[in-house]
Amino acid sequence: MDCLFCKIINREIPADIVYEDDEVLAFKDIDPQAPTHMLVIPKRHIATLNDIEERDLSLVGRLPQTAAKLAKEQGFADEGYRVVMNCNENGGQTVYHIHMHLMGGRRFTWPAG
Ligand code: AMP
Ligand code: ZN
């Protein structure tokens, strides 16, 4: 499958991996938008939020759980952080394997741009 994030999972292209277990992988974003910017992805390929099925629900729940765990471990959970999932063109999705952005270390504005 010609998917950038599946290639990272399969170690076909390098990434700065910060967490891995049987179901999810987290690695540093190559173009960070905050002092800390990581991506948390399921190891199962799911292209967009629109493609999540009933059987994926517990797996998808691991994304915010892992993001919060990483934020705690890296010491910015209490001060706060931003998680984002972009969907399709209007949402700004550029990689079609769902991922949760975890950004910390600065104050974020709302509404999102
Ligand atoms: P999105 O625009 O929500 O689909 O986010 C895709 C993210 O993947 C962007 O923040 C990119 O900077 C990031 N990205 C693209 N290629 C890589 C890569 N090889 N390693 C790490 N992050 C990447
Ligand atoms: Zn994939």
Q: Any idea where the domains of the chain sit in the sequence?
A: 4-104
Residue whose CB lies within 8 A of the most ligand 1 atoms, among 8, 41, 94, 102, for a mutation test: 94
State residue 113's pLDDT score: 86
State residue 40's pLDDT score: 99
Give the Cα separation of 85 and 10 in Å (integer): 22
Which CATH fold topology does 4-104 show? Answer: HIT family, subunit A (3.30.428)
Q: How far is the CA of 20 from the centre of ligand 1 (A)?
A: 18
State residue 106's pLDDT score: 98
Give the Cα separation of 103 and 40 in Å (integer): 11
Estimate to the nearest angstrom the gap between the alpha carbon of 92 and the chain centroid: 14
Which residue shows structure tokens 């999540």? 52
Tens of pLDDT, residues 13-71: 999 999 999 999 999 999 999 999 999 999 999 999 999 999 999 999 999 999 999 99
Nearest partner of 37 among 29, 26, 25, judged by Cα: 29
Q: Does the pLDDT value for residue 1 go beyond 90?
A: no
Rg, Å, the chain Cα set: 14
Tens of pLDDT, residues 71-106: 999 999 999 999 999 999 999 999 999 999 999 999
